[in-house]
Amino acid sequence: MERPGRPLGVALAIIASALVFSLLPLLQVGMVLTIRQVRLNSLNQDLSEDVPAFSGADLIGGISETELLVQGILGLGFLGLAVLAWRGRPPALRFMLVGAVVLLTGIKLAAIIAQSLAQQNLQIGMSSADSIFQSLSVGQLAVEFLVMLYVVWYMNRGPARAFFRGYYLSHPAGAARPEAAPGDRAQRSEL
């Protein structure tokens, strides 16, 4: 029996979830680390040089090294899971991918709720960027939620189950097969 090919829906689900749950978090970590490096380099330069000063609020304040490390590890872990799911082996990867997508969406939802309910620390300062970051995080959550719904929906469809199982289910011996339409019999007899 021939192994089923990867359906387009499975490919879309894996690519979309890898982009949202792996690439985007890794890009965010890279951006924060780059900004920190630029700031450190500008502080270490001689004061007599023309160095553009950072003005306004601290765009990366409140993000600890631990949070960056956890986000990077989760992003790399999900990328590994997506690569294994692309191969389609072992069959349990379908459940692992769906569970990881639901878990990461739940973690993001909890983080946004905790951030919304937390009191602003006035010693750190406030800026107009805070409302922009809040809106962006809600928008990111909406995209993650839509990707989660698609992954859960498609990974439970027959073609996805057959791809991860490695074979199509045959009709049971005692089950009635669907009858062909009357025109189909006439076409078959003509062939």
CA angle 147, 153, 159 (to 5 degrees): 120
Decide if 120 contacts 126 (C-beta within 8 A): yes
What pLDDT, on a 0 to 100 scale, did the predictor assign at position 56?
42
- Calculate mean pLDDT across residues 166-182: 65
Q: What residue spans of 54-181 are helical by DSSP H?
A: 65-87, 93-117, 129-155, 158-165
Tokens standing for 45? 């330069």
pLDDT band at 57 (very low <50, low <70, confident <90, very high): very low
**Residue pLDDT, tens place only, 9-52:** 999 999 999 999 999 999 999 998 898 888 777 766 655 455 45
Check residue 56 and give left, alpha or beta (phi > 0: left; psi -120 to 50: alpha). Answer: left
Q: How far apart are CA 188 and CA 191, in angstroms?
A: 5
Does pLDDT of 152 surpass 70? Answer: yes
DSSP for residue 190: H
Does pLDDT of 167 surpass 80? Answer: yes
Looking up tokens 């991860």, which residue turns up?
164
What pLDDT, on a 0 to 100 scale, did the predictor assign at position 171?
65
Does pLDDT of 187 surpass 60? Answer: no
CB-based contacts of 162, cutoff 8 Å, min separation 6: 4, 168, 169
Compute the mean pLDDT over every residue in the chain, rounded to the nearest whole number.
81
Does pLDDT of 121 surpass 90? Answer: no
**Residue pLDDT, tens place only, 126-138:** 666 677 877 888 8
Tokens standing for 131? 């409302």
What pLDDT, on a 0 to 100 scale, did the predictor assign at position 174?
56
Q: How far apart are CA 136 and CA 131, in angstroms?
A: 9
| CA end-to-end distance (rounded Å), the chain | 26
Looking up tokens 């021939």, which residue turns up?
2
What pLDDT, on a 0 to 100 scale, did the predictor assign at position 36?
82
DSSP for residue 21: I
**Residue pLDDT, tens place only, 80-102:** 999 999 998 888 999 999 999 99
Tokens standing for 118? 């937390």
